Chains A and B, each alone.
Chain A
Amino acid sequence: MSLWVDLYRPKTLDDLHYHEGLSNRLRSLAASGDFPHMLFYGPSGAGKKTRIACTLRELFGKGVEKLKIDQRVFMTPSRRKLDVNIVQSNFHIEITPSEVGIYDRVVIQEILKEIAQTQQVDISAKQRFKVVIINEADSLSRDAQAALRRTMEKYMSNMRIILCANSTSKLIAPIKSRCLLVRVAAPSEDEIVKVLQYVASKQPFRSIDQNVAREIAEDSNGNLRKAVLVFEALKMQTPDLSGPLTIAKPDWETYCQKVADMIIQEQSPQRVMEVRSKLYELLVHCIPPNVILKTIADHVVDKVDESLKADIIHWAAIYEVRLRNGNKKIFHLEAWVVKVMTLYKHFFFGIDMDGFD
């Protein structure tokens, strides 16, 4: 038995529940025989991959669902071996080049050239071209993106590229100008509710309470995958879905909240040490440091005075960049914690002094 997320994932463009206009566009593009390179972007859980899969299905018919997973070995110019997993069908190939870090250029060059120089042999195939799907395109290195540029123009007759990214900020302009940009916005709460009801209607219990659905939708923050997963988890916990619901937060989030509380309760070197050990704990459990920083900042901001909020976000933003450029994550997290503590203390100190004068 698979998870509901996979079980009820729409398979064709007609099954999609929201962004009707977008689905229609994709359908007509697929039918026109004149399919451009595409770039899908939008927040996670908005349905980018689902849409790509549906478009492929529209392009090639059922055949694309016969997938096989392959492991390929690439050789860098410096004779290093790289293992890359690729998912492919007869009509398309899906790669995540960012898996191999800075060597992604090699993978892109090799795979694309290989595909570009072989033609579709299957005569019954609906389209003359093959499709290459590149996941996490925004973490491609600059070299890899540069390698895509001319290839995308030159081999247009044999191949189309579909890029899938969270944001277009990190893509170089030449790539963006060669693709048809498709923005997949996160679903609104009403749309999530609709989807949840659809999922429920497929299950033996038939329906879901309106309020429950709305609560899940609010909690999911526009991430449909999360919403459906939470729904399934809740169903397992309390089969009748009645009474007050507590949507279990992931434990790292509660942990972050605890850290935020600690920062506000007391500002002392001792407390910094305690926070430090907690931060280490989070890092050890492989929570990305920027997520930790963002979550803690979010919670701290909720609890402090209006005039401090802007400053806290300012420093969070600054330290987030440093954390990315830097090497040792804990330094920057800690520096931010200390900064927030000073700000907080100064703020109260200032008020106290005013009162005494």
Chain B
Amino acid sequence: MSFFQVQAPKKAVKHAYDPALQPWVEKYRPKTIEDVSSQEHTVAVLRRTLTSTNLPHMLFYGPPGTGKTSTILALARQLFGPDNFRSRVLELNASDERGISIVRDKVKNFARQTPRTQAVSSDGQTYPCPPYKIIILDEADSMTQDAQAALRRIMETYARITRFCLVCNYVTRIIDPLASRCSKFRFKPLDPSSTSSRLHHIASAENVHVSEEVISTLIKTSHGDLRRSITYLQSASHLGGSTKPPTPITPSDIQEIAGVVPDSVIKDFAATLGVDAVGDDMEIDSPSKKVTGFDSIRRKVKEIVREGYSGTQVLMQLHDFVIEHPTLSAHKKAQSALVFAEADKALCDGADEELWILEVGLRVHKAVS
């Protein structure tokens, strides 16, 4: 197993390495499935497998940062313990070559091996160590159709001694025959309260002082992606802690790290388009309202592009602003939403950002005026 020969020395090095330099995401990865936040249903099912030593093939799907990889790694660790882990688990992800040839050689070879007898665990604990191996195919939705098709028969033939766990974001990208061989587990985005408790736990373990506002900004910017919020927290504490007198983390730091466009910029842009923030509506009456036209919108767009904000981010935030606007009529909102949808598709296709921000600006302007 060349895979493990390469792997083994690297692991050893990692442990010798200063844990302070490890990303927190790795450092605070759940050690047992009980630690996994807010996926009660999945955890309840998996807990039973720990005692019954019976595991189906599994398909984990859900948005990024909800704990899919963490769960299966934690489960494998609990099943096999650290000593057997290496001989019983094969983890392949998108960074490994995963064409059809790999499925035929590496996966098949690993799958057909009879599991080695259980090594005595060095840490004195007993692990269930059931008589099968686990193959984890991480990011399985980036596997080619052919490679997935090649897996079908392998999964069945060696089902006695090998279990597969496919992990993916989009379950639709997994071909049906594979999906029907697995029991599916959906991972839902984390709810704010469990995210916040996890963040608090990490912050206190790392001796970083964070205020409630910072936590709420983290939750807002990460949209239920726990990994993202932990990374942001770590980056922010880098920035804050690396100056000579350590500066406290502020919500605006988090926004900058997350690449979020400041609210004032979006508000300003929206005002140019004729969508005023509600507070201002009262003060500025229609006669004194500044005339907005093509040229002012174009100037504003140029400014935004020069500041280097990302196009999708600007559009997303503008979308939120317009759609949640309390006084605009539903008809206007619907028309604007149509424009945003088109622009998103265009940007996904790699269209020019400046042109499309301008286009959205002009059409929203037309829709609301």
Contacts and interface: CB of A to CB of B under 8 A. Distances in A.
Interface of A: 24-25, 28-29, 31-34, 36, 41-43, 46, 77, 109, 112-113, 117, 119, 142-143, 146-151, 153-154, 156-157, 167-170, 173-174, 176-178, 180-181, 183-186, 221-222, 290, 294, 297, 301, 306, 309-310, 313-314, 316-317, 320-321, 324-325
Question: Chain A's interface: helix, strand, loop or mixed, by majority?
Answer: helix
B238 A313 contact: no
Given A32-B238, A313-B362, 4 more contacts: A29-B238, A146-B139, A156-B26, A169-B312
Instruction: Identify the interface centre among B10, B242, B358: most chain A CB within 10 Å of its CB.
Output: B242
B355 interface: yes
A101 B209 CA distance: 46
Interface residues of B, number: 69
Contacts of B152: none
A109 B99 CA distance: 13
B351 A31 contact: no
Contact of A147 (B6, B94, B346, B353): B94
Contacts of B13: 119, 157
Contacts of B352: 290, 294, 317, 320
20 contacts: A36-B23, A41-B308, A119-B13, A146-B139, A149-B139, A150-B95, A157-B13, A168-B259, A177-B228, A177-B231, A183-B307, A185-B307, A221-B306, A294-B352, A310-B363, A310-B365, A310-B366, A313-B358, A314-B362, A317-B351
Instruction: Identify the interface centre among A157, A176, A317, A325: most chain B CB within 10 Å of its CB.
Output: A317
A124 to B, nearest CB: 19
Question: Chain B's interface: helix, strand, loop or mixed, by majority?
Answer: helix
Nearest to A186: B306
A77 B97 contact: yes
B90 to A, nearest CB: 14
B72 to A, nearest CB: 14
A309 B297 CA distance: 11
Contacts of B138: 150
Contact of B350 (A34, A306, A324): A324
Given A169-B311, A184-B308, A186-B308, A150 B21 contact: no
B359 A41 contact: no
B258 A181 contact: yes
B45 interface: no
Contacts of A316: 355, 359
B310 A167 contact: yes
B229 to A, nearest CB: 9
A173 B20 contact: no
Contacts of B298: 301
A340 to B, nearest CB: 14
A276 to B, nearest CB: 22
